[in-house]
Amino acid sequence: MEDKKQIIIDFLQKCNGYSEQMLVRYEEEAGADDAAAVLKAKQKIHDWTSYREFNIHAIGELNDGTLDAWF
């Protein structure tokens, strides 16, 4: 079971690495002069931040045993 959990944790950490890259991209776009582009970038920042936080929460639950019943 621990191997399976670690595989999922590793995957979620890689996903969070990608989300960090996307956040940098959209933070740069949020500095644009075009109001529509700024709004779109801010929504994307919100979305990617929520995704990252969800993954962090899931990793915590994998580590503390909350999700052991899933295995």
Question: 39 in a domain, yes or no?
Answer: yes
- pTM of the complete model: 0.85
| Structural contact between residues 56 and 13, judged by C-beta atoms closer than 8 angstroms | no
Question: 47 in a domain, yes or no?
Answer: yes
Question: 40 in a domain, yes or no?
Answer: yes
**Residue 60 identity:** G
Cβ–Cβ contacts within 10 Å for residue 22, how many?
A: 16
DSSP state of 46: H
- The count of structural domains within the chain is 1
pLDDT tens digits, residue range 23-70?
999 999 998 889 999 999 999 999 999 999 999 999 999 999 999 999
Q: Which domain holds residue 42?
A: 2-65
Question: 70 in a domain, yes or no?
Answer: no
Question: 20 in a domain, yes or no?
Answer: yes
